[in-house]
Structure 1
Amino acid sequence: MKKILVIGPSWVGDMVMSQGLYIELKRLHPESQIDVLAPGWCKAILDRMPEVNEALDMPLGHGDFDLRTRYRIGKVLRGANYDLAFTLPNSAKSALIPWFARIPVRTGWKGECRYGLLNDLRTNKRAFQYMLERYVALAHKKQEMTGSGCLGALESLPYPKLSLSADALEQALAKLKLNMDRPVLGLCPGAEFGPAKRWPEQHYSRIAEELIDKGHQVWLFGSKKDTEVTSQIQQLMSESSRAHCTNLAGRTSLIEAIDLIGACQTVVSNDSGLMHIAAAVGCNVVAIYGSSSPKYTPPLTSKLRVLNTDIECRPCFQRECPKQHLKCLVDLVPQHAIEAIESFDQVRCDES
């Protein structure tokens, strides 16, 4: 049995997508044991990945070097006798712990000064367009991964699939005084990266009111940082519509958010970590793209509608709009999202 240590990413979306690697490793090595070293907040996500044996707490935050702590962690991990290590972040410091742990085979993509730290160094990252491809490619031997397309189409790759808990959902519903009397539209209007990824609040309030008028209820998801945005969305709505709109930003743990998003029929989201969670729990996903692009990290689901404008300055991949007009988002009118949501209903009717 191979014992595998993965140095996991530090962003929600990247962590969700990393499940593709674990699924592929289990397919190739069914008896393997996969442990993932990642920040403590990732445990909620990793606990919903059946392929992961244990989530190991990484005490250092994103950007912290702290050589002494990395050496201490590596020395402790020597006793686990891992056979393989996969380092998913691109930094040199992220490759130190497997080296300190003396893991025989240390795999990862070429990054900043990682020669020696990784002894199974992959150099043809650009042959793979999508992050999921890059993760899955690491599970295969270097000589098998020689060029673009060697893994097949994106749809053929193992998509993340987070498990859900009916009991945990019931507890979350009771705690937050929610019910399932109406079908749920989830809205994820935040974006950790910056305002150039955030669809305007008035657009979100418009689709919320439209769907509430058609018999839905709306749950607003986000972290404490998103409470100003979600509160503004509610304030823009009529009083009658607000009665069917619940602001959950900052009120749920990540594990509760996973189950509650899983209870939504459709989720409309900016390009964010919650967008990837919605895809991984099986929701219909309407993905809003402003400054970014789905050509690298798209939501990994077949139940997807991607919305963006085609103005010449996007995608710019900037946190703030360089032209200070945010036309890529402002000009993406709510009606497009409403039509996308309704298209899922039409597909369901056609299938029935």
Structure 2
Amino acid sequence: MAVLPASAVLLGEAPGLLGGALAAAPPNGSATRYTIVPFLNSDDGTVNVYQSDDATDFRLDVYKRQAYTPPAGRIRDASILRHTDGSYYVTYTTRTWQDPSTTIGFARSSDRVNWTFLYDYTVPVANLSRAWAPEWFVDSDGSVNIIVSCSTTNDEWIFTPYRLRATNSALTAWSSPVPLSGIGANHIDTFIVKTGSTYHAFPKNETTKYIEYATASNLNGPYTIRRTGDWAGWGSYREGPALVQLDNGGWRMFFDGYGDGNYYYSDSYDTFATWSAPAALPAISGTARHFTVVKETVTGGPSLARNVTRSFRSANYSTR
């Protein structure tokens, strides 16, 4: 009997049974691959590399355990990017949360398994105390950006999101930091996606401990915060939101439930207005911490003719 991916079961999309099934599949002869590079709940000095074909069941290959350990400092809140040069890049927080942290780190890999340290970059914000949770954002014009949460020495626990834009293709030079207008201070872990001409931002409010929702027509803002409190039903003490668009057009949000030790996902099919009840990620919930996702279409998967009638028989019940 055919076994469906966990995501197909959860989303109510059994291939061949429901009308939305074709939208949920990659092209013939190809497969979808989701990659995450989280630091560990037990160790913020190294990261593992996990992959999944359904954005739910993330697996650890033995050769990807402790895939990258920086030469100094820590590696927290790693964000992964597949760049136009074909390489994978991570940017990350370089110190543990108790310590001042004025740099963000960079590493590169050609295969997601073997990583090379590139450099630590001092974020040029005046009186900087901490630069945390750098998140990649590639705009529709191809520009590569990082959204990083920064606090200053006058109040080291009040964070504001800033934008850095790469000024060369090697990702070694960056524009001056620009605060995101409208989101404001006391927000952290801001993650941004763009649909059409609208930028959608998901920052965590450090006072309420809820992930909020804001929109703007320009990456720098001004943003309008449209949803606050427990607007999506995710609960409080959630952080590190990361979004990826699924093959069926929906959006999946991942977030760190640091208050209860779980890692969650939740789906939206109406441009972020409503969300499914959060569910803990199998296998890695309680192990992985704060990550982002790279989605790719890779070779592999079945090559099946379209518009052909097929039948399946249960191996357990031959009459079914």
Larger radius of gyration: 1
**TM-score scaled by length of structure 1:** 0.22
Structure number with the higher strand fraction is 2
Higher relative helix content: 1
